Homo-oligomer: A and B are copies of this chain.
Amino acid sequence: MRQSFEQHILATQGVVGITADVIIFTVKDGKLHVLLVRRAHEPYQGRWAIPGGFMDKGETLEETARRELEEETGVRGGFYLEQLFTFSGPARDPRGPVNSTAYFALVNEVSITVRAGDDAKEAAWFPVNEIPRLLAFDHGKILVYALQRLRWKIEYTNVAWSFLPEHFPLAELQSVYEAILGRTLDKRNFRKKILQLGIVVSTQKRLSGQHRPAQLFRFKTRELQVAEVL
């Protein structure tokens, strides 16, 4: 029975590669960045690409995505990962049909150390408005889609926690929002809204430079919560 099932699959759909690609975002220096890798092999050798890799036997797609994320960044937790879309079709990869399920990951800059994975000879952060025009495969399209989703997500949920350390001043939270949305926000209205939503709670003070020290906050929960932030 198992045998005939496999044969049926091979006969009707053929051999299809299955990959998980992970668009890894972080906020660095007040700007939203994406992690790209330079491809070490054909096809698209030398082009920048979204990190990804083939599914292994017995894995789920999410496990593949987590594995790729760890290989590239070394994060061990405290990040946010969400499935984005599955891209398919015979023409995406010259080697043959490949189904790629894209995920996006949001990581805190300080919790990671970038390193190039297997199939890549180089990995680097790119500010989202300085991304190379030509990426490998259809990765340009995928990136656009991921950005849209991220912008939506940051406005309607509490995911911003994934970019921040446990404790942070509100000004830093605001700058995360500004980096992702690409516009400045009014400080008073922002604080009012965030505090009234109750997604953060205040804690102690903060050591600081030659100016008034800021109060530190933390997120009430570091799991996805729907909340109309903006």
A127-169 contact mask (Cβ, 8 Å, vs B): 1 or 0: 0000000000000000000000000000000000000000000
A14:B99 contact, CB within 8 angstroms: no
Contact of A17 among B9, B59, B88 (CB under 8 A): B9
A27-35, A49-57, A177-185, A206-214: which one contacts chain B?
A: A49-57
Interface residue A13 (Cβ < 8 Å from any Cβ of B): yes
A89-97, A188-196, A197-205: which one contacts chain B?
A: A89-97
Contact of A88 among B1, B6, B61, B88 (CB under 8 A): B61
A1-20 contact mask (Cβ, 8 Å, vs B): 1 or 0: 11001100110111111100
B86:A61 contact, CB within 8 angstroms: yes
Residues in B whose Cβ lies below 8 Å from that of A57: 12-14, 90, 97
Q: Of residues A1, A9, A18, A86, which shows the largest number of chain B Cβ atoms within 10 Å of its Cβ?
A: A86
Complex CA distance for A10 and B96, rounded to whole angstroms: 13
Interface residue A77 (Cβ < 8 Å from any Cβ of B): no
Complex CA distance for A85 and B135, rounded to whole angstroms: 25
A5:B61 contact, CB within 8 angstroms: no
A9:B54 contact, CB within 8 angstroms: yes
Complex CA distance for A95 and B4, rounded to whole angstroms: 10
Q: Of residues A6, A58, A60, A83, which shows the largest number of chain B Cβ atoms within 10 Å of its Cβ?
A: A60
Residue of B nearest to A20 (CB): B88
Complex CA distance for A134 and B169, rounded to whole angstroms: 49
Across the A-B interface, give the 7 residue pairs with the lowest CB-CB distance, nearest first.
A60-B89, A61-B88, A5-B95, A86-B86, A6-B15, A14-B57, A60-B88
List 10 other contacts, CB 8 Å, given A9-B17, A16-B16, A62-B88: A5-B95, A9-B54, A13-B17, A13-B54, A16-B18, A55-B88, A57-B90, A83-B85, A88-B101, A99-B99
